[in-house]
Amino acid sequence: MTAKRDIYMDEVKVSLDTSDRIRPLLAGLPPMVQGAALADLMSHWVIGHCPESRAEILATHYKAVVAMVKSVAGTRDDPWTADGTLKQ
């Protein structure tokens, strides 16, 4: 395994561990509260990037979320097209 691959895998592990720590804080809260808390965290994350890259970062993040939802929920009643946009 290359050093770059090791760093990537470390980042994945830290990401999953962080998600596991946050999940109990959101559990049991109403969906609107969960969504608002996640939106607040996302806004701070996006602000940390230069203004010129924010739209691309949000688009990439959106595609990643769509892919994760599909991997967990499957494609039954899938509201997205193959490219990740919402079906009309």
pLDDT digits over 41-75, tens only? 999 999 999 999 999 999 999 888 888 888 887 76
Question: pTM of the full predicted structure?
Answer: 0.71
Give the 3-state secondary structure of residue 86: strand
Domain boundary assignment for the chain: 49-88
What are 6-29's pLDDT values in tens digits? 777 888 899 999 999 999 999 999
Check residues 2 and 25 and name the one with the higher pLDDT: 25
